[in-house]
Amino acid sequence: MQIVIDQADELGWAPANVHYEQFNSGVVGLHNTGFTVNLTLSGRSLEVRANQTLLDALLEQGVDAYYDCRSGVCGSCMVPMTAGQSDHRDTFLSEAEKQENSLICTCVSRAMPGVTLELDI
């Protein structure tokens, strides 16, 4: 699938005109690192392990986090991000929204290595 997407990009197709479905996010991989998340509204801080999603860390700590697909395609788990740099692994946010870096899909996206995220929850 990625080859087709890359080819469309090379041919100059607008990303909005390339439609596809994704069934597996591949979020937990060999190159993941743990990271810290500060929850600004509740004043809490939590650690996300390398083998854990941000969503699972939130749920493990009793945070009432919404979700649906768990693969980064629906946007149900999206929350505002006030600081940090996300490794956006979802296909829901547009490239412009990913560059803006003010939202994160907690089911698949992570912090860039060595970065602490601040979420507005």
Q: What pairs with residue 119 in β-bridges? A: 39, 81
Distance from C-alpha of 118 to C-alpha of 37, rounded to nearest angstrom: 6
Q: What is the pTM of this model?
A: 0.78
33-83, pLDDT tens digit by residue? 999 999 999 999 999 999 999 999 999 999 999 999 898 989 999 999 999
25-119: CATH superfamily: Beta-grasp domain (3.10.20.30)
Residue 13 has pLDDT above 60, yes or no: yes
Identify the pLDDT of residue 1: 64
Distance from C-alpha of 97 to C-alpha of 72, rounded to nearest angstrom: 14
Distance from C-alpha of 78 to C-alpha of 76, rounded to nearest angstrom: 6
Cα-Cα-Cα-Cα torsion 84, 90, 95, 96, nearest 10 degrees, comes to -50
Residue % of the chain over a pLDDT of 90: 71
Q: Retrieve residue 83's tokens.
A: 């600081």
